[in-house]
């Protein structure tokens, strides 16, 4: 059965389609949706079967760390431990194209934490569709980049691989091109931020050295 395909305006998305997507997520759907860096796979955090489907689509092993896509800082604090310095940094960089690796709280299911480090990737995207969808779903989305395991780049124009997408997910939110540059990833589990991946998010204001450590 082919997936449901909804075309949305990237700045002023149609609420009826967003409500339809939110309803499907709560019913257990795996979706493809836009963010401020690139498209992503997503599902409800509590849905184990949907999460396993995404793991299979990306061919992830048990050590891969999912990303929890949140509405705001208060939602982050429910699922990740955030100290004062981390909160100030999150406040400075969210919403935006950043992923923050943080220590998980007991509220986060162990099956989506990093198996050894007990961490989770957290982000708050600055995209009208994503923000509106999260508001209607009422909880974070468990996500990862929409990239096929046999491809070197994330999928940007969804129509380029429509047939494959329709076989893989239950619903597609198509808001046009949103780029292929991934998020900047910052590890905040230590005493200072460490750059794990340079991506779309600018970190020049943080004084990070080329090796990712903090310059002094």
The per-residue pLDDT for 2 is 72
Contact 180, 34 (CB under 8 A): no
The domain spans of the chain are 4-199
- Over 90: is that where the pLDDT of 205 sits? no
Write the DSSP assignment of 79-141 as a string of letters. HB---HHHHHHHHHH-SSSEEEEEEB-TTS-GGGS-TTT-EEEEE----HHHHHHHHHH-S-E
**The token pair that represents 66 in the structure block:** 């999912």
Overall average pLDDT of the 23-41 stretch = 96
Residues in CB range of 14: below 8 A, 6 or more apart: 8
Mean pLDDT, the chain, integer: 91
The per-residue pLDDT for 209 is 55
The per-residue pLDDT for 216 is 24
The per-residue pLDDT for 213 is 45
**The token pair that represents 127 in the structure block:** 């995209």
Distance CA 14, CA 215 (A): 45
Confidence of residue 1 (pLDDT cuts 50, 70, 90): low
DSSP at 56: H
Please tell me the pTM assigned to this model: 0.92
- Classified as helix, coil or strand, 77 is helix
- Over 90: is that where the pLDDT of 184 sits? yes
The per-residue pLDDT for 24 is 97
Q: pLDDT tens digit string along 131-166?
A: 999 999 999 999 999 999 999 999 888 988 999 999
Which CATH code of 3.20.20.70, 2.60.40.1250, 3.90.870.10, 3.40.50.300 fits the domain covering 4-199?
Answer: 3.90.870.10
Provide, rounded to the nearest whole percent, the portion of the chain with pLDDT above 70: 96
The per-residue pLDDT for 200 is 94
Q: pLDDT tens digit string along 59-115?
A: 987 777 789 999 999 899 999 999 999 999 999 999 999 999 999 999 998 888 887
């Amino acid at each position: 059965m082919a997936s449901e395909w909804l075309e949305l305006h990237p700045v002023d998305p149609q609420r009826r389609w967003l409500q339809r997507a939110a309803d499907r997520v709560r019913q257990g759907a795996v979706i493809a949706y836009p963010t401020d860096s690139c498209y992503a796979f997503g599902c409800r955090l509590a849905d184990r079967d949907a999460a396993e489907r995404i793991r299979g689509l990306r061919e992830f092993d048990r050590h891969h760390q999912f990303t929890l896509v949140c509405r705001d800082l208060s939602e982050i604090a429910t699922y990740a431990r955030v100290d004062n310095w981390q909160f100030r940094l999150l406040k400075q960089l969210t919403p935006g194209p950043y992923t923050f690796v943080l220590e998980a709280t007991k509220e986060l299911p162990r099956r989506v934490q990093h198996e050894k480090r007990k961490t989770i990737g957290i982000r708050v995207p600055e995209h009208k569709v994503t923000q509106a969808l999260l508001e209607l779903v009422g909880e974070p989305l468990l996500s990862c980049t929409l990239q096929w395991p046999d491809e070197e780049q994330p999928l940007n124009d969804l129509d380029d691989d429509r047939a494959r997408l329709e076989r893989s997910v239950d619903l597609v939110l198509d808001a046009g091109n949103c780029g292929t540059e991934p998020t900047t990833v910052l590890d905040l589990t230590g005493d200072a931020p460490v750059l794990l991946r340079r991506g779309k998010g600018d970190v020049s204001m943080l004084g990070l050295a080329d090796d990712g450590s903090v310059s002094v």
